[in-house]
Amino acid sequence: MRGLSENPAALAALILAQGVCAGVFLFDVVLDGGELTRLWPLDWHFAVEAAAVLGLIAGIAFEIRVLLRLLARKAHLERQVSMAASALHDVIDAHFLAWGLTASEHDVAWFTVKGLPIAEIARLRGSADGTVKSHLNAIYRKAGVTNRGELLSLLIEDLMDGADRAPPASAAQEQSA
């Protein structure tokens, strides 16, 4: 069932197939009902068929409602993830700005946060490994850390403490202003 919840089109196709079946059964019940000459005592075969059709139609209505709720929930969660990713980017950028990173240091810092090794960062930036190491040392010094792990820990700790809190360096700059 997990596959259906991840694929709304498959669930919609299943509901459509059930709808077609319900239509066929409803048509049969209507034809059977037209042949009844009396309503009481009710023909048990007709009563069971009618109840089954009503149950199937009710089940389809319930499934449609669940599908619509799932789609709405999925859209809501996708919006929240998008907003969270944007907020994460903004918080990290605020730290980089507060630390006074140069444009090159900013690029290297982002690649570092993304987990790229020094050689890959150098390749992407078209620079030497030594240049990237030099930028990393400047980033670590400005952030008040000594390595990549501490840098990531600092960013994560500040994110967990609350995104609305200003980065430490910017708070110091605001007090001196």
Minimal CA–CA distance to 100: which of 153, 31, 52, 172?
172
Q: How far apart are CA 129 and CA 119, in angstroms?
A: 6
Query: 117-127 as b/e, with b when 16 or more CB fall inside 10 Å?
Result: ebeebbeeeeb
pTM given for the model: 0.54
Per residue in 64-102, pLDDT (tens digit) is 998 899 889 989 999 999 988 888 888 899 999 999 999
pLDDT 10s digits, 24-59: 988 888 887 776 666 556 677 788 888 999 999 999
